[in-house]
Amino acid sequence: MTFEQYFSVAPSATVATPGRVNLIGEHTDYNDGFVLPTVIPQTTVIQIAARKDQTVRVVSSNMQPAAVHTYTLGAEKKSGDWLVYIQGVTHILRTSGITIGGFDALISSTVPTGAGLSSSAALTVGLIKALREVFPFDLTDPAIARLAQRVENEFVGAHVGIMDQMAVCLAKPRQALFLDTRSLHYELVALPEQAGLIVINSGVSHSNIGGGYSARRRSCEEAATQLKVKALRDLGLADLGRLKPLGALLEKRARHVISENARVESAVLALKAGDLARLGQLFKESHASMRDDYEVSTPEIDQLVTIANLDPAVYGARLTGGGFGGSIVALAHLAEAPAAAKRIAQRYLEQVGKEPTILVP
């Protein structure tokens, strides 16, 4: 059904927001560190029209049966489904002093949920941008990213960093966003001409609203406190020797973050030099760190990464996103990436028995 069929009016604005894949820099954003995401072709599209009252009516064409959900501004409730993101946006905007009225919205998305590709950031950032169109308020894209992060942190209960929101706000196709999550200084870095990306959803669902993600964030905060730094970002490779007194668990968690920050900076240099072999090696090292030190991988993801790394067209592969399922990203030669993705997906299906989804290319 169309917007007009649902709401009997035409939309006054349409906003499309992409999902993202993180090339490297995992679990560094909430440690004030560096990240290097880029966008994927899949998008969340929001059609919207302002109302003259305080009623919000919203429908997602991805949910079956698609139904119109209604609530009143100021009466937002934390639900256990996708509506928590919609109500979180209106709650955070209102409590931040931003005036909005009621609205009708139709949401459709090709960004897969549970794949570690920022479906929630695409939704929340996209909705705030759509509301900016129909209730003109003066917010820059970085400011929108901060508000969208607050939606997840304060309303949804997912203690995510700022990477996803900044990535879907600012990154462009064939460009990586080199972001300092402390200062929010960023640089767009072009992907080398021959660089091809492969993104495959493992079929193992991922969520940031859970004990594993939050526990790792707490571990990082505890390590920083014991090491007397504001955040693990403030430590470098030369400081790894200081980690032993933390105990085995905190030592591993801190080592991942510190080494991952260094890998992001090395990856930027490799991108600028067009050194795909070096970038691929950094992907492999990042995955090993996430598997062994941060312990956020799964057997299925590890097998998918192994299969990808054995493919002759692939320079390197790694888990992307928060972990505990989701997707992998692999760096391949551009011309060979489509065929390589099909080979990897087929071998994964044969070896693991789960149906993967090729998202890129």
Q: What are the pLDDT digits (tens) for 278-320? A: 999 999 999 999 999 999 999 999 999 999 999 999 999 999 9
Pair (198, 173) in one structural domain = no
Residue 153 and residue 288 in one domain? no
Q: Of 186, 213, 233, which residue constitutes the final position of a domain?
A: 186
- 230 and 351 belong to one structural domain: yes
Range of the domain at 327: 191-360
- pLDDT tens digits, 65-80: 889 999 999 999 998 8
Give 64's pLDDT tier (boundaries 50, 70, 90).
Answer: confident
Q: Do residue 174 and residue 301 come from a single domain?
A: no
Q: Are 165 and 229 within one domain? A: no
Could you tell me if 179 and 323 lie in one domain? no
CATH code (residue 277) = 3.30.70.890
Distance between CA atoms of 204 and 345, rounded to whole angstroms? Answer: 14
Asked if residue 206 and residue 168 are part of one domain, the reply reads no
**Which residues partner with 37 through β-bridges?**
22
By the 8 A CB rule, do 168 and 96 touch?
A: no
> What tens digit of pLDDT does each residue of 210-267 get?
668 889 999 999 999 999 999 999 999 999 999 999 999 999 999 999 999 999 999 9
Give percent of the chain above pLDDT 70. 98
Specify the number of domains making up the chain.
2
What are the catalytic residues?
A: 164
Tokens of 240: 């790894």
Please list the helix, strand and coil fractions of the chain in percent, rounded to the nearest 5, in that order.
45, 25, 30
Average pLDDT, the chain: 95
Last residue of a domain, one of 186, 209, 234: 186
Q: Which amino acid, one-letter code, is at 186? A: Y
Q: Which CATH number does the domain housing residue 30 bear?
A: 3.30.230.10
- Long-range contacts (CB closer than 8 Å, 24 or more residues apart) made by 64-68: 66/1, 68/6, 68/7
Are residues 181 and 327 both part of a single domain?
Answer: no
- Mapped onto helix, strand or coil, the DSSP state of residue 20 is strand
To the nearest 10 degrees (0 to 180), the angle between helices 337-352 and 299-310 is: 140
Instruction: Evaluate whether 216 touches 294 at the Cβ level (below 8 Å).
Output: yes
Residue pair 105/48 in contact (Cβ under 8 Å)? The answer is: yes
- Gap between the Cα atoms of 353 and 342, Å rounded: 15
The last residue of one of the domains, among 186, 210, 235, is 186
Identify whether residues 87 and 211 lie together within a single domain.
Answer: no
How far is Cα 169 from Cα 227, in angstroms, rounded to an integer? 34
pTM strictly above 0.75: yes
Q: Is the pLDDT of residue 193 over 80?
A: yes
Q: Are residues 148 and 218 in the same domain?
A: no
What is d(CA 166, CA 358) in angstroms, rounded to the nearest whole number? 24
Gap between the Cα atoms of 299 and 201, Å rounded? 14
Same domain as 154, residue 10: yes
Q: Report how far residue 308's alpha carbon sits from residue 302's, in angstroms, rounded to the nearest whole number.
A: 10
The pLDDT, as a whole number, for residue 207 is 63
26 contacts 286 by C-beta, under 8 angstroms: yes
- Select from 71, 74, 79, 77 the least CA-distant residue to 95: 74
pLDDT for residue 159 is more than 80: yes
| Shared-domain flag, residues 327 and 294 | yes
Cα–Cα–Cα angle for 76, 77, 82, rounded to 5 degrees: 100
In angstroms, the CA 144 to CA 131 distance is 11
**DSSP secondary structure of 302-335:** HHHHHHHHHSTTEEEEEEESSSSS-EEEEEEEGG
Helix locations, the chain, DSSP H: 3-7, 83-95, 119-134, 141-150, 163-170, 211-226, 248-273, 276-292, 299-310, 337-352
